[in-house]
Amino acid sequence: AQKVTQAQTEISVVEKEDVTLDCVYETRDTTYYLFWYKQPPSGELVFLIRRNSFDEQNEISGRYSWNFQKSTSSFNFTITASQVVDSAVYFCALSEQRLYGGTSYGKLTFGQGTILTVHP
């Protein structure tokens, strides 16, 4: 069974601080995808990144960066120079990619989420 653990329930930082959100996953699949989503107070889920299990290169997008380490089954997310607008709940998710009759299943398993509060 798949499992995603976000050990940090809540994080509080002051604006301009760097913050790292941890994500550890469990899966028996050799092919899988990892995601990060942002859920602001308004409730919608915003897609941030997708990473497949064969690509361990770190990625940077503006103030966001992701560190994928297969050896430790971790996919951590760092926000550099945090801003108040970054305040939200962040979810890490894992997708199995088994093919059933030629159709991808793609079920997402979410972590519990980390509530990030950035104070001015």
Question: Using the rule CB under 8 A, which residue among 5, 67, 112, 117 binds other proteins?
Answer: 112
Least distance in angstroms from the C-beta of 79 to other proteins? 20
**104 forms part of the interface with other proteins (CB under 8 A):** yes
Contact positions with other proteins (CB under 8 A) in 63-92: 91
Nearest in space to 23 (alpha carbons), one of 110, 116, 119: 110
Query: In this chain, which of 2, 87, 97, 117 binds other proteins, going by CB under 8 A?
Result: 97
Contacts 24+ apart (CB under 8 A), 26-31: 26/1, 26/2, 26/73, 27/2, 27/3, 27/94, 27/96, 29/2, 29/53, 29/96, 29/97, 29/98, 31/97
Q: How far is the CB of 67 from other proteins (least distance, A)?
A: 19
Count of residues touching other proteins (by CB under 8 A): 26
Q: How far apart are CA 40 and CA 16, in angstroms?
A: 19
When binding is defined by CB under 8 A, the residue of 25, 35, 75, 77 that contacts other proteins is 35
Contact (CB, 8 A) for 38 and 87: no
- Which positions touch other proteins (CB under 8 A)? 33, 35, 37, 42-47, 50, 52, 91, 95, 97, 103-113, 115
